[in-house]
């Protein structure tokens, strides 16, 4: 069992405090038409990450994939300069961010491509991804190309044992994602359902948790979508219902304006601001360690043999 970082494999015990869903080198401006969504200033990102490290952060799951401006050489540089473990992603995001050359692919093509990146490395770099993600559905629906993408991602996850992390637009379609994974017999402990702090229907999130999947409350600090007080109230409900072993936390920064030096919350927001509020609400150190360390360690561990290069 191991975790695949941009610098090679590590023992899961080495990962430490982990942000489960971030972007360190990303460009969404091709679709959004807003240069703020091009976050590709390595120096500024490294400066911001020093705050994350100073708060105890040790690992970042970097969810930028094909079509989102992914550059794993930049991630390797950031990892080397900060000392952080960085886990890169394979896959595509959602319509309309899927690259033009992949926009008419079928599930078999998506699967073959992802498996190739997992086994051989990304775009000729030899740098291997440690997660399939963020694989997305649209607002309240699967678009046709997203269905093909999801089936391809499921096949790649079953073949390689990599965790599969999803995007749910504004938290919607989470149960539909879970049902698809269940129908295709993908073990749900291998799945992270994303952005569920944007899902205001706690009863649905509880159903997702009941399925056995991990749930990412990963847009903490983005109060233009939902207040952190509401996020906290929902999280406390999930903990009271006994799901402390399935929840992950992060901030999902994607914009220049999200960096602290530009007036944003910064990569350290969960550790610096949200965790103290959790503790003030009575959440124990033991539970906090699960949210930040133990749960990510299990969620992002690769457990199964695929080839001679993949060890159990």
98-112 residue pLDDT tens: 999 999 999 999 999
How much is the pLDDT for 304? 67
Mean pLDDT calculated for residue range 278-294: 98
Could you tell me if residue 308 is inside a domain? no
How much is the pLDDT for 310? 39
How much is the pLDDT for 312? 28
How much is the pLDDT for 54? 98
pLDDT > 90? residue 311:
no
Could you tell me if residue 195 is inside a domain? yes
When pLDDT is cut at 50, 70 and 90, the band that residue 303 belongs to is confident
More confident residue, 303 or 172: 172
Could you tell me if residue 275 is inside a domain? yes
Could you tell me if residue 167 is inside a domain? yes
CATH of the domain at 98: 3.20.20.140
Could you tell me if residue 310 is inside a domain? no
3-state secondary structure of 167: strand
Mean pLDDT calculated for residue range 85-103: 98
Mean pLDDT calculated for residue range 79-85: 98
pLDDT > 80? residue 232:
yes
Q: Are 159 and 111 in contact (CB under 8 A)?
A: yes
Residue 56's CB: how many other CB atoms inside 10 A? 13
pLDDT > 90? residue 306:
no
Mean pLDDT calculated for residue range 48-59: 98
pLDDT > 80? residue 143:
yes
pLDDT > 80? residue 305:
no
Mean pLDDT calculated for residue range 191-210: 98
Distances (CA, A) of 306 to 31, 159, 191, 302, 303: 36, 7, 18, 10, 10
List, in sequence order, every beta strand (DSSP E) within the chain.
Answer: 3-5, 8-10, 18-22, 26-27, 38-39, 59-62, 85-87, 89-90, 131-137, 164-168, 191-193, 214-217, 247-249
Could you tell me if residue 67 is inside a domain? yes
Mean pLDDT calculated for residue range 1-9: 97
**Distance separating the N- and C-terminal Cα atoms of the chain:** 5
How much is the pLDDT for 308? 38
How much is the pLDDT for 309? 44
Query: What is the number of domains present in the chain?
Result: 1
Could you tell me if residue 16 is inside a domain? yes
Average pLDDT, the chain: 96
Q: Are 274 and 220 in contact (CB under 8 A)?
A: yes
Could you tell me if residue 7 is inside a domain? yes
Domain that holds residue 271: 3-299
């Amino acid at each position: 069992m191991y975790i695949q970082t941009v610098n090679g494999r590590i023992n899961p015990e080495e990962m430490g405090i982990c942000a489960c869903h971030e972007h360190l080198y990303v460009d969404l401006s091709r679709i959004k038409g807003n240069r703020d969504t091009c976050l590709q200033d390595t120096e500024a990102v490294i400066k911001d990450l020093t705050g994350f490290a100073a708060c105890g952060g040790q690992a970042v799951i970097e969810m930028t994939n094909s079509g989102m401006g992914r550059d794993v050489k930049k991630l390797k540089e950031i990892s080397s300069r900060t000392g952080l473990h960085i886990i890169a992603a394979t896959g595509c995001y959602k319509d309309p961010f899927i690259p033009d050359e992949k926009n008419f692919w079928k599930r078999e093509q998506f699967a073959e491509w992802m498996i190739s990146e997992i086994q051989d490395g990304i775009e000729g770099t030899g740098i291997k991804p440690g997660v399939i993600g963020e694989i997305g559905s649209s607002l309240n629906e699967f678009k046709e190309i997203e269905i093909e993408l999801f089936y391809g991602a499921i096949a790649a996850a079953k073949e390689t044992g990599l965790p599969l992390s999803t995007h749910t637009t504004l938290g919607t379609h989470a149960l539909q994602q879970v049902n698809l994974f269940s129908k295709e017999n993908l073990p749900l402990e291998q799945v992270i359902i994303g952005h569920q702090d944007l899902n205001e229907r706690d009863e649905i999130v509880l159903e997702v948790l009941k399925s056995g999947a991990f749930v990412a409350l990963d847009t903490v600090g983005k109060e233009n979508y939902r207040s952190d007080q509401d996020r906290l109230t929902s999280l406390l409900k999930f903990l009271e219902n006994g799901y402390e072993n399935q929840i992950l936390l992060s901030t999902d920064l994607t914009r220049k304006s999200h960096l602290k030096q530009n007036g944003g919350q910064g990569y350290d927001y969960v550790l610096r601001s949200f965790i103290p509020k959790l503790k003030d609400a009575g959440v124990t150190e033991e539970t906090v360690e699960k949210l930040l360390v133990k749960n990510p360690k299990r969620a992002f561990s690769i457990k199964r043999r695929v080839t001679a290069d993949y060890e159990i």
